[in-house]
Amino acid sequence: MLKFKTQHLEKFILDAEISMIQPMVTVADEMLRKGIGAGSAYTDWLHLPTEYDKDEFARIQAAAKKIQSDSKVLVVIGIGGSYLGARAAIDFLNEYFNNYLPDEQRDFPQVLFVGNSIAPAYLNSLINVIGDRDFSVNVISKSGTTTEPAIAFRVFKQMLEEKYGVVGARERIYATTDAKRGALKTLADTEGYEEFVVPDGVGGRFSVLTAVGLLPIATAGGDIEQLMAGAAAGEVEYADADLAKNPAYQYAAYRNILYRKGYTTELLINYDPTLLQFGEWWKQLQGESEGKDGKGIFPATGNFSTDLHSFGQYIQDGRRNLFETLFRVTEPVTDVVIPEMDADDGLGYLQGEKMSYVNRTASEGTLLAHVDGGVPNMIVEVDKQNEFSLGQAIYFFEVAVAISGYLNGINPFDQPGVEAYKRNMFGLLGKPGYEDITYQLQQRL
């Protein structure tokens, strides 16, 4: 179960401030739930945990089984919302070094991500890692027109066709895209790939609980029924407009109060590398939803205790515009006992202790130090590192960012700013239709 804790906000926020923001939260709740807010066409994720396409869900499970039986590697091609959720979930649910294990020591295929950059060395390195092993491809793009995954897909389509023939390749390509539109949809129809749908009313960054996330997660051995069950628990628990009864709305309200006081950067903190990618997923969710119209909390992550030894100094003593949200799992997945030995390493007082205890204590000491240094802290805590908790946490942050965006007077469901770089890139690359800006841009370089 998920808990949201705010006791360390005491010196930063008065109870009265929470009462004062309640009427605005009530309005934000109505905007979201009655579909009268900006971007309301993209709020179908709200009921996704209970109203998903059950037939497609069964097809996803069947496809995952097929990939598990005929492939050692699943190459997932996608960028932004079309890979971050799956990657976060797979890291959250598996051993950190799972992908490094030899095939015979792994129960499920390696899932490797590409098309999330345009770096050629990364792509070549991935090809080398696949080697001569059997693999399948899940190409994911809601729009079906994004350049980065389209380039990667060309390369892997060609590789599959060379290895298995055109017909054999078709059996190993799974396309997750829009139900009707886009270049990927057209290609998938023409070639006869198995297709999965990103529903119209679910934006990329809210799509992890659709086929976008579910197929890679299930292929990696994740129990996607439990994932949906956790999200469904969130759907019930985070539906009340009353702040006192809704932890997700509380989180949205507190971060907006902090924002209005000048705390403009939020760090999502973890103390475990298996949660690092969750932070990456969260950054897109927050940043693309809220950063617009010259406003918004800047989302960043703190991967502790690693980063305490890099920018910990800044957090403790730098410009006071930061607040932290600690995302933690209370029950360790495994543990290590610090060995007892006669060594002069100053660790005698810790011998026989569990590393999880030391890690937890480090997090508590850090949190108190940061609070004392003027950094407001909140805690989002789940008890177990499993599918159910993950589903609930995903839903918690999704619903919170929607309310948070409305509280800040923006449309949380669009991303007009993302087009600016694409336009320039297309202009410079000479894409048909962008010729008018090519010369001007070149002159500025």
Ligand X SMILES: O=P(O)(O)OC[C@H]1O[C@H](O)[C@H](O)[C@@H](O)[C@@H]1O
Binding interface with ligand X (CB under 6 A): 79-82, 141-143, 146, 149, 204-205, 288, 415, 418
Output 82 or 250, the one with its CB closest to ligand X. 82
> Which of helix, strand or coil describes residue 269?
strand
Output 101 or 179, the one with its CB closest to ligand X. 179
> Which of helix, strand or coil describes residue 364?
helix
Distances (CA, A) of 283 to 100, 265, 288, 289, 342: 26, 11, 8, 10, 45
**C-alpha–C-alpha distance, residues 438 and 428, integer Å:** 5
Output 16 or 420, the one with its CB closest to ligand X. 420
Distance of closest approach, residue 290 Cβ to ligand X, in angstroms: 13
| Count of beta carbons in the 10 Å neighbourhood of residue 42 | 21
Q: Pseudo-torsion of CA 434, 435, 441, 445, nearest 10°?
A: 110
Indicate the burial class of 180 (C-beta count within 10 angstroms; 0-12, 13-18, 19 or more).
exposed
**C-alpha–C-alpha distance, residues 205 and 91, integer Å:** 18
Distance of closest approach, residue 74 Cβ to ligand X, in angstroms: 18
**C-alpha–C-alpha distance, residues 249 and 84, integer Å:** 24
Instruction: Say if residues 274 and 334 touch (Cβ distance below 8 Å).
Output: no
Distances (CA, A) of 340 to 336, 345, 346: 12, 12, 12
Instruction: Say if residues 128 and 119 touch (Cβ distance below 8 Å).
Output: no
Helix axes 54-70, 211-219, angle to 10 degrees: 40
Q: Which residues contact 14 (CB under 8 A, 6 or more apart)?
A: none
Distance of closest approach, residue 410 Cβ to ligand X, in angstroms: 15
Report strand pairing: 2-5 vs 377-382: antiparallel
Distance of closest approach, residue 429 Cβ to ligand X, in angstroms: 17
Distance of closest approach, residue 152 Cβ to ligand X, in angstroms: 11
Q: Which residues are catalytic, by number?
A: 288, 422
**C-alpha–C-alpha distance, residues 106 and 276, integer Å:** 22
Output 43 or 415, the one with its CB closest to ligand X. 415
- Minimal CA–CA distance to 108: which of 140, 78, 136, 131? 136
Output 149 or 234, the one with its CB closest to ligand X. 149
Q: Which residues contact 60 (CB under 8 A, 6 or more apart)?
A: 196, 211, 214, 215, 218, 224
Output 166 or 418, the one with its CB closest to ligand X. 418
Element (DSSP H or E) covering residue 73:
strand 73-77
Output 17 or 414, the one with its CB closest to ligand X. 414
48 residue type, one letter: L
Output 189 or 331, the one with its CB closest to ligand X. 189
Distance of closest approach, residue 426 Cβ to ligand X, in angstroms: 14
Output 79 or 197, the one with its CB closest to ligand X. 79
133 residue type, one letter: R
Residue 227 structure tokens: 């994932």
- Minimal CA–CA distance to 47: which of 259, 216, 247, 199? 199
> Which of helix, strand or coil describes residue 3?
strand
